A and B are shown apart, each in its own frame.
Chain A
Amino acid sequence: MFDTNHMSVALKDAQQTSYPAALLTLNEPTRKSKQQCLTGSRSVSNIENANIGHEQLIARVAKSRDKAAFKAIFTHFAPRLKSYLLKYGLDGQKSEDIVQEVMVIVWRKAHMFDPTKAKFSTWIFRIARNKFIDHTRRHKYPEVSADDHLADMAATDRTDKQTETRQTSERVREALSSLDSKQSEVIELSFFKEMSHSEIAKQLDLPLGTVKSRIRKAFIVLRAAIGDQI
């Protein structure tokens, strides 16, 4: 699609799609600086300081295999992803293996990320979830196709792109802490232990219906936190 080895091509392309000038100046100008990026160079810290959204960074990875942009994404997400995987109960080595595989997919499939459909954190979460399942349960996890042709109505206008990732995270954290402990418990068992409804019911010694209604109610509160509608 794009000739990624020649900056001039990437620059021309960026200009055609009228990228902000700030982005262009942050692009790697020469092959030499690519080497710098790998060893933790100035251009990396430039990117980190510039407070560019992850959605813009991944667009640059897609367009020009921008290693500085990729490193900024890596620096932010890889250590958090490792923590998340440790919570799942994996050991350090296994967690790091999955972190690596997830980052490989982020690099390879950067062109498939669509900022009009999801935030970057949502996208990388999906990749990590599927990799985790692939590794630990050795089964497939069929994905929802955003472009499916069978939908019975136009998709709602709302996507989660309007709010910054960091803001959303704060709002979800607040919403989680606003849940009563019984509700946050079932959400944590779902997301961090990947327990099914019946597994949660068994673990907490509760009727299945109680588990389901707790998840439902918690979901309403959390959805309200990420969007402006319930």
Chain B
Amino acid sequence: MTQNNGYIPDEWLLSYAAGALSEGHAMIVSAHAAYHAEVGQKIADAEAIGGALLEDQDTSALPDGFFDDLMAKLEDEEMPEVTETTALDKSIPASLAAYLGKPLDDMKWRFMGPGLKQCQLWTGEGGEKLWLLKAKAGASIPMHDHSGLELTLILKGSYHVGGTHYTPGLVEVAEAGSKDHQPVIDDAEDCICLVVTEAPIKIHNWIGRMVQPFIGL
């Protein structure tokens, strides 16, 4: 089942706030929030719930001298310099720009198939991967099935899956077990997406199956 409205469901926002997401999922959620103030507000609300839970704890004693030791460490410090963040890609969410540390164009893009390039960013437990996909305008992603959940955030360009149109800032949620997934990139411009996959995708055609071991997805 693929969800169609392009917004990450609220349970992800709460889990993000609680600190319960993996690095890959947290990256997608924080980048998605950069496009939609309402999503950011919901996350802030969930974090305020976390703050209230913290506030509501009983107190646990700290050792004698704990504060004094801390102050001894801090009191001679200079006021921190206010540093400007520079040279980050302003066309993508700030959290992603900071994560990548360089503009999208300077990433190491690798061959993934005709008209497709990918750049792997992170691998987590159980084969979870965070990666960037770059697809030429008009390209078709080979038809594939998902054995795990896949979240795709569109950064540039756009694509269709069936009758649904995904544009920058929207997230396609493809649940585990979804079959015959075949996004088609729109003709106007190349499409760049941030993707997190929980398990290897299964590509249908023989070229896909042949190259898959080499592209590592």
Which residue numbers of A lie inside 8 Å of B, CB to CB? 1-2, 4, 34, 38-39, 65, 67, 71, 74-75, 77-84, 86-87, 95-96, 99-100, 103-104, 107-109, 111, 117-126, 128-130, 132-133, 139-156, 158-160, 165-166, 168-169, 171-173, 187, 190-192, 194-197, 211-213, 215-216, 218-220, 222-223, 226-227
Known: A80-B55, A196-B20. A158 touches B41 (CB 8 A): yes
What residue in chain B is nearest A2 (Cβ atoms)? B79
Contact B79 A103 (CB under 8 A): no
| Interface contact tally, CB-CB below 8 A | 242
The reply to whether A122 and B80 contact each other, CB–CB distance below 8 Å, is: no
CB distance from B123 to the nearest CB of A (A): 11
Contact of A132 among B13, B19, B40, B94 (CB under 8 A): B19
Contact B37 A153 (CB under 8 A): yes
B151: Cβ under 8 A from any A Cβ: no
- In the assembled complex, the Cα of A204 lies from the Cα of B157 at a distance in Å of 41
A156 partner residues in chain B, CB cutoff 8 A: 37-38, 41
Q: Is the CB of B22 within 8 A of A196?
A: yes
Query: Are A219 and B66 in touch, CB under 8 angstroms?
Result: no
Interface of chain B residues 32 through 47 with chain A (CB within 8 A)? 33-38, 40-47
B35:A151 contact, CB within 8 angstroms:
yes
Contacts of B15 in A (CB 8 A): 190, 196-197, 215
Write out the residue numbers on chain B whose beta carbons fall within 8 Å of the beta carbon of A142. Answer: 23, 26-27, 30-31, 95-96, 98-99
Interface segment among B67-75, B111-119, B132-140: the answer is: B67-75
**Residues of chain B whose beta carbon lies under 8 Å from any beta carbon of chain A:** 9-11, 13-15, 18-23, 25-27, 30-31, 33-38, 40-63, 66-68, 70-71, 73-75, 77, 79-80, 82, 90, 92-96, 98-99, 124, 169
List of A residues within 8 angstroms of B50 by Cβ? 122, 125-126, 129, 191
Is A74 a contact of B35 with CB atoms below 8 Å?
A: no
10 further interface pairs, Cβ-Cβ under 8 Å (given A124-B51, A151-B36): A38-B71, A78-B62, A121-B48, A121-B54, A155-B41, A168-B48, A169-B52, A218-B14, A222-B49, A226-B52
| Contact of A150 (CB < 8 Å), options: B9, B14, B71, B169 | B169
> Which residues of A sit under 8 angstroms from B98, Cβ to Cβ?
142
**A-B residue pairs in contact (CB < 8 Å), sample of 8:** A126-B47, A142-B95, A148-B94, A169-B56, A172-B56, A216-B11, A223-B46, A226-B49
Contact assessment for A212 and B9 in the assembled complex, using a CB-CB cutoff below 8 Å:
yes
Q: How distant is A192 from chain B, measured CB to nearest CB, in Å?
A: 8
> How far does the alpha carbon of A130 sit from the alpha carbon of B19 in the complex, in Å?
8
B30, A96: Cβ atoms closer than 8 Å: no
Q: Is the CB of A129 within 8 A of B48?
A: no
Interface contact A119-B33, CB-CB below 8 Å: no
CB distance B34 to A145 under 8 Å? yes
Residues of A within 8 A of B34 (CB): 144-145, 148, 150-151
